Amino acid sequence: MTAVQQVTIALPEWINEVVDWQKTYADDDEKMALAIELSKQNVLRGTGGPFGSAIFDCSSGKLISVGVNRVMPMHNSAAHGEMVAIMLAEQQLQSFSLNADGVKRELFTSCEPCAMCLGGTLWSGVKRLVCAATADDARAIGFDEGPVDASSYQYLADAGIEVVRLVQREAAAKVLGDYLNDGGTIYNG
């Protein structure tokens, strides 16, 4: 008899050392600083790739979930920072849609999403996407972001998702560069 297969999504143990779950985040800069710090710590601690994300309640600034890239340690090509944050937020809210309860939520990510994560953003129900580094920054170090272009972001906008880009790009791009310079694996290049 074959065992039932399952996948468990887990954040690294250090997350609670970095994340203040009780903090109310006042603005885009504070929220993005968290996403970038998550990406930086993920690299420094050797627990995954250089990408971090966080989901917040738009009106209160309350943190709902975080995600970091877990592709290599979990042997799971879908375990991108955005997807991990989305899955954990949906689990936290006990809903497959992050706006089913009428509350608007937003996804902050240290780098513009790849094709998979753009799809996940659309389907997740978030109403706002805020990005730091660009897909070109990720491509510059060797990551293949897939078929993402201006029409991808227009599609999100047409679906009612506000998109804000280039928030703290320099700090986020530095994490990408540091990852490459320190010999980080480009796992889909």
CA 108, CA 12: separation in Å to the nearest integer? 19
Report how far apart, in Å, the C-alpha atoms of 140 and of each of 26, 48, 71, 97, 155 are: 32, 19, 19, 33, 25
Sheet holding 105-111, edge to edge: 63-68, 52-57, 105-111, 128-133, 162-164
CA 116 to chain centre: 12
27-66 as b/e: b if 16+ CB within 10 A: ebeebbbbbbbbbbbbbeeebbbbbbbbbbbeeeebbbbb
CB 118 within 8 Å of CB 64: no
Which of 37, 82, 90, 145 is catalytic? The answer is: 82
SS3 130: strand
* 82 among known catalytic residues: yes
**Which residues are marked as active site?**
82
